[in-house]
Chains A and B, each alone.
Chain A
Amino acid sequence: AQTVTQSQPEMSVQEAETVTLSCTYDTSESDYYLFWYKQPPSRQMILVIRQEAYKQQNATENRFSVNFQKAAKSFSLKISDSQLGDAAMYFCAYRSPMNRDDKIIFGKGTRLHILP
């Protein structure tokens, strides 16, 4: 069974600075999807960034980028130029590529605080 581990329950970063959230996962599959989701307080979960395991190039979405290390099964999220609106719970997540096995496996999350 696949597992996702986030070892940082909370992190803080100064506004405008850069922060990196860590995630490791375990799987025996060779192809899969990895995600970072953001869950602001009392608001719904939104997808921040997606990485396909077969792609060597790290995904980037504006201020958000990932460092995908497939051999090490590591998938970290870097947030550049942190903004107050980035304060939220961030979940690392995994999904099998099989269309039928369509469930997302989430880590426990990292609460990110942005200090003004």
Chain B
Amino acid sequence: DTGVSQNPRHKITKRGQNVTFRCDPISEHNRLYWYRQTLGQGPEFLTYFQNEAQLEKSRLLSDRFSAERPKGSFSTLEIQRTEQGDSAMYLCASSLARASGLSYNEQFFGPGTRLTVL
């Protein structure tokens, strides 16, 4: 049983370049989340998917950010025209949400992708 995996683990890019990160959730997990963690801070929610549908987006997710989960399995997070303020750890998590009621679904986190924008 493999956990959540993220690639690449580290990315260094120059300001203005586009970058794309990939997240592979735990098999059978229908929900996938993206968080951003800057140095010295706790993770901040960006967005989440249930299967292919993007159900919620934070105001932190500017129009330079786009996330997709085309087949309800892996997800990509793209940042266009990167800025130095985008330097952070990007965390992915997945969970199995039940169809009915207010059930608890634990989020399992991946190791993150550390982005450095020069």
Contact = CB atoms under 8 A, between A and B. Distances in A.
Interface string B28-53: 00010101000011111100100000
Nearest to A105: B45
Interface stretch (A12-20, A38-46, A59-67, A69-77): A38-46
Nearest to B107: A104
Contacts of A101: 56
A30 interface: no
Q: Is the contact region of chain B dominated by helix, strand, or loop, or is it mixed?
A: loop
Interface of A: 4, 33, 43-47, 50, 52, 91, 93, 97-109
B42 A109 contact: yes
B110 interface: yes
Given A44-B111, A46-B109, A98 B102 contact: yes
Contacts of B31: 102
A76 to B, nearest CB: 17
Secondary structure class of chain A's binding surface, majority of residues: loop
Given A99-B101, A102-B105, A104-B107, A91 B33 contact: no
Contact of B40 (A50, A93, A103, A108): A108
A101 B45 CA distance: 11
Given A103-B56, A108-B40, A109-B41, A43 B111 contact: yes
A44 B109 contact: yes
B25 interface: no
Contacts of B45: 103-105
A47 B45 CA distance: 17
Nearest to A42: B111
